[in-house]
């Protein structure tokens, strides 16, 4: 969900492979618009495709949130003049503010202050404008406001990256940070600030040892779309990473074994926690979704015990406990494709009916009582069925 230049609410969604659609929620059915496609276009711009890896894209927020070092909160906003400057700086873009750290110690202290970062994040993203980050060869390389592509006639400004396969899994922004996964690599990053950090794969082996041994075209079972989640613990004001991996995944016997690790972004070590009570689905557009301090995954219906209805896994990032929630009444028909999303601060399951040519968005109204309601039906019309995933 974003607001366009005239502050009109719009829903933006991507389909596999890499098409971006825009819908006016007040006028569903009539105005589905293909904003642009990353298909069938050759490489543009300075995109480097060293290993021929497919590019991808995601959305991000304006933020100064650090991916590593702790913010220094000892510094003062004691003088009224410095408080005035902090007001000015909090209204600048993240990159400009960061660059202005060169001016003097006081300014640098301000932009590194945790409270300032939080205030800046809030202010900079009030408009709910979307920014996009494009990836090439597993690395983010271009950052653009969505409107650059949406407002202009479709073919004039092609997006900088194109490919038919999305093997980069980029999360939605969560309090100013994103995570992305590429082959066996995981990263946490702040696109607005160009901060990014590779995450060591686990406690047992060092990251450096692994770099040389990983094959880029690895289809290892640990690489699945839901494996890396990013949440935000409101209580401690810290970003939390959740990593899931399959030790075993046997579709014939339906036997599986999962491991789950969690850590704060700022910490170095992963803690092993009890794995979720259900297998996590690997559907490429399905990333764990973060809403209000909780992460949500779809359950894999091809593993473990068969369940009568669709199920969803919820993780409370502060208590580190998983719960199973009953999903909306869909997903049992052949030709349906589902993913879990966040829309206007609510958990949503989008269910694409290939044959009917509609994408139905279910909203979880009440997490305690589990009430699902149909929020929107988006008719794909001429875009169906080839874009209905």
Partner 1 sequence: MEVDKGKGEAEETRKVAEADRDTVTLKSSDGKLFEVSKEAAARLSTVLAGMIAGGSIDDNGTDLKQIGSEALENVVDYCNKHANSIPSAALISSSISFNTAPFKEPEEWERKFVDRLSHDALFDLVEAANFLGMERLLDVTCHKISEMMKGKSPDQIREVFNIKNDYTKEELEEIRQELAWAFYDD
User: Under the rule (CB under 8 A), what is the footprint of partner 1?
Assistant: 3, 7, 80-81, 83-84, 87-88, 91-92, 95, 98-106, 108, 126-128, 139-143, 193-196
Any idea what the Cα angle at residue 337 is, between residues 276 and 371, rounded to 5°? 60
Instruction: State which residue, 98 or 360, has the beta carbon closest to partner 1.
Output: 98
Q: Choose between 111 and 225: whose C-beta lies nearer to partner 1.
A: 111
Q: Are 336 and 330 in contact (CB under 8 A)?
A: yes
Residue 199 C-beta: closest distance to partner 1, Å: 17
For partner 1, the closer of residues 195 and 270 by Cβ is 195
User: Cβ 168 to partner 1, closest distance in Å?
Assistant: 15
Q: Which is nearer to partner 1, 195 or 387 (CB)?
A: 195
* Min CB(267)–partner 1 separation in Å: 22
Three-class secondary structure assignment of the chain: CEECCCCCEEEEEEECCCEEEEECHHHCCCCCEEEEECCCCCCCCCCCCCCCCCCEEEEECCCCCCCCCCCCCCCCCCCHHHHHHHHHHCCCCHHHHHHHHHCCHHHHHHHHCHHHHHHHHHHHCCCCCCEEEEEECCEEEEEEECHHHHCCCCCCCCCCCCCCCCCEEECCCECCEEEEEECCEEEEEECCCCEEEECCCCCCCCHHHHHCCCCCCCCCCCCCCCCEEEEEECCCCEEEEEEEEEEEEECCCCEEEEEEEEEECCCCCCEEECCCCCCECCCCCCCCEEECCEEEEEECCCCCCCCCCCEEEEEECCCCEEEEEECCCCCCCCCEEEEEEEECCEEEEEEEECCCCEEEEEEEEECCCCEEEEEEEEECHHHCCCCCC
Is the Cβ of residue 150 or residue 359 nearer to partner 1 in the bound state? 150
230 close to 222: Cβ distance less than 8 angstroms = no
Smallest distance from partner 1 to CB 305, Å: 46
Q: How far is the CB of 102 from partner 1 (least distance, A)?
A: 4
Q: Give the shortest CB-173-to-partner 1 separation in angstroms.
A: 17
Where do we find the tokens 């929020």? 375
Output the smallest distance, CB 101 to partner 1, in A: 6
Question: 108 or 354: whose CB is closer to partner 1?
Answer: 108
Query: What's the token pair of residue 267?
Result: 């910490």
Give whichever of 4 and 311 is closer to partner 1, judged by the CB atom. 4
Nearer to partner 1, 106 or 331 (CB): 106
Supply the minimum distance, in Å, between the C-beta of residue 144 and partner 1: 11
276 within 8 A of 313, measured Cβ to Cβ? yes
The least distance separating partner 1 from the CB of residue 162, rounded to whole angstroms, comes to 19
Q: Is the CB of 139 or the CB of 315 nearer to partner 1?
A: 139
């Amino acid at each position: 969900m974003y607001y366009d230049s005239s502050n009109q609410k719009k829903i933006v969604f991507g389909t596999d492979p890499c098409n971006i659609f825009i819908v006016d929620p007040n006028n569903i059915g009539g105005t589905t618009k293909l904003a642009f496609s990353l298909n069938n276009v050759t490489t543009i711009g300075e995109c480097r495709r060293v290993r021929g890896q497919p590019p991808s894209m995601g959305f991000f927020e304006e933020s100064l949130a650090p991916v590593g070092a702790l913010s220094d909160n000892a510094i003062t906003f004691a003088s009224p003049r410095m408080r005035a400057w902090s007001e000015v700086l909090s209204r600048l873009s993240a990159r400009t503010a960061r660059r202005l750290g060169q001016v003097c110690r006081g300014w640098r202290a301000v932009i590194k202050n945790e409270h300032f970062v939080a205030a800046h994040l809030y202010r900079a993203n009030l408009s709910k404008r979307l920014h996009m980050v494009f990836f090439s060869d597993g690395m983010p390389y271009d950052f653009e406001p969505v409107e650059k592509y949406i407002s202009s006639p479709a073919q004039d400004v092609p997006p900088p990256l194109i490919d038919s396969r999305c093997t980069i899994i980029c999360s939605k922004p969560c309090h100013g940070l994103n995570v992305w996964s590429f082959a066996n690599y995981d990263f946490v990053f702040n696109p607005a600030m160009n901060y990014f950090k590779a995450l060591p794969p686990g406690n047992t082996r060092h990251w450096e040892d692994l770099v040389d041994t990983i094959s880029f075209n690895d289809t290892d079972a640990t690489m699945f779309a839901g494996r890396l989640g990013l949440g935000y613990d409101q209580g401690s004001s810290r970003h939390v990473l959740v990593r899931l991996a399959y030790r075993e995944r046997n579709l014939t016997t339906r036997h599986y074994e999962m491991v789950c690790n969690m850590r704060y972004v700022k910490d170095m070590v992963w803690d092993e926690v009890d794995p979720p009570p259900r297998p996590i689905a690997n559907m490429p557009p399905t990333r764990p979704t973060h809403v209000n301090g909780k992460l949500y995954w779809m359950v894999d219906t091809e593993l473990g015990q068969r369940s009568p209805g669709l199920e969803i896994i919820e993780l409370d990032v502060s208590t580190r406990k998983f719960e199973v929630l009953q999903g909306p009444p869909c997903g049992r028909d052949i030709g349906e494709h589902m993913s879990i999303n966040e829309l206007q601060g609510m958990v949503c399951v989008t269910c694409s009916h290939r044959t009917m040519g509609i994408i139905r968005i279910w909203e979880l109204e009440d997490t305690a009582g589990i009430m699902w309601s149909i929020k929107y039906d988006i008719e794909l019309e001429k875009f169906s069925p080839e874009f209905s995933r």
